């Protein structure tokens, strides 16, 4: 039995009374069986003593027992942290504001989501006109007693008669598709199962296209590999077993397929992918000839070499955003009725990344990213000059959707210090007006958002956002700092609001977000520089970010914590193994921790695009060198580590986190805790109820504050670098 003395120093209770180490209980890590499993891979013996923890919690009693014992230890420890309750209370207050989703217009009606503040799930409303009284269409809060059944994607039919929506239960990636009669508010009998990674595409008002996998074998729904995805057409009022197969590639079961339909309903586009890389093939189906030709798919793009993002279609003309011959993307178009259809350039590649585009009214709305922050432009359909949309500082703009002929578009803008506001823009005049703005219980102007650049190990210049209160920034004193990163899968980390992060900032901490290589912040080259054999660059970037924060006096030398989820959880596990001395605390959430077996479960097989193939020697050598589970080395002092996962995570199966935690607890890594928090009826993150999100956020902040030395001020005040300011807390 491994025993740990919780070494507590500098903690303040809400009352300001310090807690001494002697008052904290010992931590007894649960006994975890070690099996003598050793495999020889490419001449190297690889031990895997905790493979039994890969078993599904729902079907493996000994794994369920281990989970229960680990959770009990973790909750007992977290209960000793006095700031846990304070953080939970403040996060709840910061979340208690009205927030809206982007409106979608169909048939003269506006559909949008709204959360009154602390509802576990957002509700879906409809308005017949901009100023009409809203009517509640869907209330997911009534779907499950624990609030863990969520409304996922949704889409009204073109005339607004029906609403197609997907239901997510317990955080799983599996979806159930259902349909609502908008006029009556009554659900139809239609129900489609085993949909996953699907689009929602209406074909007129008669039915819809969707993607699904074959029904999994008994007991394999949450761990079995996902193969043979296909596109089907479901006609309203018919059972699922009568759905028509639209597109499949049985000769290539590893291919995935997603369907779109142009706004005028003329063309269906099937976009195919092999893995997670943005490399696609596209097939086009002319729906006007469906009675004659059936679901005849004609190749439009072949080769799986480039990214193709549908913008819109009008008749048989299509617009796409692509990185074909443009590392930072450009806008192209094609006329399928031309004698020799060919792609023509509408907007050339620029220094900034073209993230997405839309055709609204008779104009193009282009959404660009520069150094991970957004700006937008409006151009004529031929790409000629238009106007730039002014945004409020460093932040993220999203939306800009609509239909050809629409007089308006909606967009959202958010940053680290302000929740998303929704704006309506009149395309004829360019005038922008708020559609929905949150009322906040704090002053956004009291916080400073900076963008800084640091130099990584190989000399690469990497951007990072730093957020602090103005008082902390003015004092120029180092404070406990939370550094977040991801670095993979062409995903760009951009500014966004989090109530949990705001609670950390209010308490006097700093927050930093590093835009590591492997992401999409600078296009294809930036992604390539952090994938496969180049993955170590991501870890070097993150380590360099931490060193910069300490060197520049932003983070306390003994007060730097790191956090990341999914691929970011892998990042945290890898850099802790490589530089345990740099960090005081680490939070690894739903991470990919066993890099030699990740491709054997659910969606893991897709990730070989970013990570490589464990069964190929060259890739194995790279993966073996940084795999968090396989590179824990005893005899060194590790930071305090909190691992988080969930029993229904079927994206990154929880066995990754289970095995990693067991290995941490077995090794001699010093006196700081290595704990795991395992959520029930939750998955990889999406659809998590508000109550669960608050509790998780409070646990994480209390843990990080404990080990970085963040001292909470008395209630009703906000701490800033050793001073106290009266805040506008409720």
Catalytic residues: 566, 684
242's enclosing H/E stretch is: none
Q: What's the rounded Cα separation, in Å, for the pair 409 and 424?
A: 6
Q: Alpha-carbon torsion 679, 680, 686, 688, what sign?
A: negative
Q: Give, as one character, the DSSP assignment of residue 599.
A: G
Tokens of 631: 């590179």
Please work out, in degrees rounded to the nearest 5, the angle formed at the alpha carbon of residue 565 by the alpha carbons of 491 and 650. Answer: 95
Q: What's the rounded Cα separation, in Å, for the pair 210 and 201?
A: 7
Tokens of 675: 């704990």
430: left (phi over 0), alpha (psi -120 to 50) or beta: left
Within 13 Å and on the Cβ side, how many CA atoms surround 416?
Answer: 29
- Closest of 709, 647, 716 to residue 684, by C-alpha: 647
Are the C-beta atoms of residues 167 and 174 closer than 8 Å to each other? no
Are the C-beta atoms of residues 557 and 478 closer than 8 Å to each other? yes
Q: Where are the alpha helices (DSSP H) in 523-654?
A: 524-528, 536-551, 567-578, 608-611, 617-626
Are the C-beta atoms of residues 488 and 514 closer than 8 Å to each other? no
Tokens of 124: 């879906």
- Rg (C-alpha) for the chain, rounded Å, is 26
Query: Which residues, other chains included, contact 184 with Cβ-Cβ below 8 Å and sequence gap of 6+?
Result: none
Query: Which residues, other chains included, contact 333 with Cβ-Cβ below 8 Å and sequence gap of 6+?
Result: 317, 318, 319, 320, 343, 344, 346
Within 13 Å and on the Cβ side, how many CA atoms surround 512?
Answer: 30
Q: What's the rounded Cα separation, in Å, for the pair 514 and 535?
A: 16
- Closest of 286, 259, 255 to residue 273, by C-alpha: 255
- Residue 392, Cβ neighbours under 10 Å: how many? 12
- Closest of 246, 252, 214 to residue 231, by C-alpha: 246
Question: The tokens 């995903």 sit on which residue?
Answer: 491
Q: Are strands 674-679 and 585-589 parallel, antiparallel or unpaired?
A: unpaired
DSSP calls for 681-727: S--SSTT--HHHHHHHHHHHHHHHHHHHT--PPPTTEEEETTEEEE-
Task: Determine the straight-line distance between the first and last CA of the chain, rounded to whole angstroms.
Answer: 46
Q: Give, as one character, the DSSP assignment of residue 258.
A: E
Q: Are strands 674-679 and 717-720 parallel, antiparallel or unpaired?
A: unpaired
Q: How large is the angle between the packed helices 61-78 and 655-666, nearest 10 degrees?
A: 60
Q: What share of the chain is helix, strand, coil (3-state, %, to 5)?
A: 20, 35, 40
Please work out, in degrees rounded to the nearest 5, the angle formed at the alpha carbon of residue 606 by the alpha carbons of 602 and 610. Answer: 135
Tokens of 445: 């102007």
Are the C-beta atoms of residues 259 and 232 closer than 8 Å to each other? no
Q: What's the rounded Cα separation, in Å, for the pair 275 and 271?
A: 12
Are the C-beta atoms of residues 479 and 509 closer than 8 Å to each other? yes
Largest pairwise CA distance in the chain: 83
């Amino acid at each position: 039995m491994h025993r740990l003395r919780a070494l507590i120093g500098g903690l303040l209770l809400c009352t300001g009374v310090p807690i001494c180490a002697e008052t904290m209980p010992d931590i007894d890590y649960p006994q975890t069986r070690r099996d003598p499993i050793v495999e020889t891979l490419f001449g190297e013996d690889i031990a895997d003593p905790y493979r039994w923890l890969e078993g599904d919690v729902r079907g493996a009693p000994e794994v369920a027992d281990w989970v229960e014992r680990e959770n009990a230890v973790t909750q007992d420890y977290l209960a000793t942290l006095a700031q846990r309750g304070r953080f939970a209370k403040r996060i709840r207050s910061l979340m208690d504001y009205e927030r809206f989703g982007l409106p979608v217009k169909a048939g003269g009606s506006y559909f949008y989501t709204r959360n009154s503040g602390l509802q576990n799930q957002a509700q879906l409303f409809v308005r017949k006109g901009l100023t009409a009284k809203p009517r509640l269409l869907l209330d997911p809060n009534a779907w499950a007693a624990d609030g863990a059944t969520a409304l996922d994607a949704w889409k009204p039919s073109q005339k607004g008669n029906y609403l197609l929506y997907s239901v997510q239960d317990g955080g799983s990636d599996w979806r159930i598709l259902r349909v609502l009669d908008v006029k009556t508010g009554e659900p139809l009998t239609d129900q489609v199962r085993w949909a996953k990674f699907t689009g929602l595409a209406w074909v007129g008002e008669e039915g819809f296209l969707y993607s699904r996998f074959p029904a999994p074998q008994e007991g394999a729904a949450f761990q079995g590999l996902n193969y043979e995805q296909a596109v089907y057409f479901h006609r309203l009022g018919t059972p699922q077993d009568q759905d028509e197969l639209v597109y499949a590639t049985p000769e290539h079961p590893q291919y995935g397929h997603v369907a779109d339909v142009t706004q005028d309903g003329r063309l269906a586009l099937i976009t195919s992918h092999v893995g997670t890389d943005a490399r696609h093939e596209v097939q086009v189906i002319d729906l006007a000839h469906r009675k004659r030709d059936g679901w005849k798919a004609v190749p439009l793009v072949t080769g799986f070499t480039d990214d193709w993002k549908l913008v819109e279609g009008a008749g048989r003309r299509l617009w796409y955003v692509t990185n074909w011959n443009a590392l930072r993307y450009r806008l192209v178009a094609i006329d399928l009725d031309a004698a020799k259809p060919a792609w023509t350039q509408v907007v050339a590649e620029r220094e900034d990344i073209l993230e997405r585009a839309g055709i609204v009214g008779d104009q193009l709305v282009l959404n660009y990213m520069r150094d991970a922050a957004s700006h937008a432009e409006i151009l004529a359909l031929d790409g000629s000059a238009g106007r730039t949309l002014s945004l409020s500082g460093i932040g993220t703009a999203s939306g800009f959707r609509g239909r050809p002929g629409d007089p308006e578009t909606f967009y959202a803008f958010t940053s680290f210090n302000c929740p998303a506001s929704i704006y309506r823009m009149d395309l004829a005049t360019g005038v922008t007006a708020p559609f929905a703005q949150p009322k906040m219980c704090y002053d956004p102007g009291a916080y400073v958002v900076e963008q800084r650049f640091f130099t990584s190990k190989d000399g690469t210049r990497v951007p990072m956002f730093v957020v602090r209160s103005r008082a902390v920034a003015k004092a120029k004193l180092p404070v406990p700092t939370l550094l977040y990163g991801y670095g993979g899968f062409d995903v760009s980390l951009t500014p966004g609001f989090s109530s949990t992060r705001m609670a950390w900032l209010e308490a006097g901490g700093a927050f930093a977000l590093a835009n590591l290589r492997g992401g999409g912040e600078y296009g294809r080259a930036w992604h390539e520089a952090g994938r496969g054999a180049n993955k170590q660059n991501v870890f070097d970037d993150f380590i360099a970010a931490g060193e910069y924060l300490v060197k520049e006096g932003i983070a306390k030398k003994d007060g730097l914590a790191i956090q990341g989820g999914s691929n970011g959880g892998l990042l945290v596990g890898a850099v802790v193994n490589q530089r345990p001395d740099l960090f005081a605390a680490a939070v690894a959430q739903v991470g990919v921790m066993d890099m030699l077996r990740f491709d054997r479960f659910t969606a893991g097989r897709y990730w070989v695009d970013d990570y490589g193939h464990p069964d190929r020697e060259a890739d194995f050598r790279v993966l073996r060198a940084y795999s968090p589970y396989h590179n824990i080395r005893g005899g060194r002092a590790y930071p305090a580590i909190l691992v988080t996962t969930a029993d229904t995570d079927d994206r990154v199966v929880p066995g990754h986190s289970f095995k990693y935690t067991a290995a941490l607890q077995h090794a001699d890594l010093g006196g700081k805790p290595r704990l795991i928090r395992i959520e029930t009826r939750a998955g990889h993150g999406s659809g998590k109820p508000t109550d669960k999100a608050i509790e998780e956020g409070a646990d994480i902040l209390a843990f990080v504050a404990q080990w970085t030395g963040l001292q909470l001020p008395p209630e009703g005040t906000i701490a800033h670098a050793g001073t106290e300011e009266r805040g506008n807390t409720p």
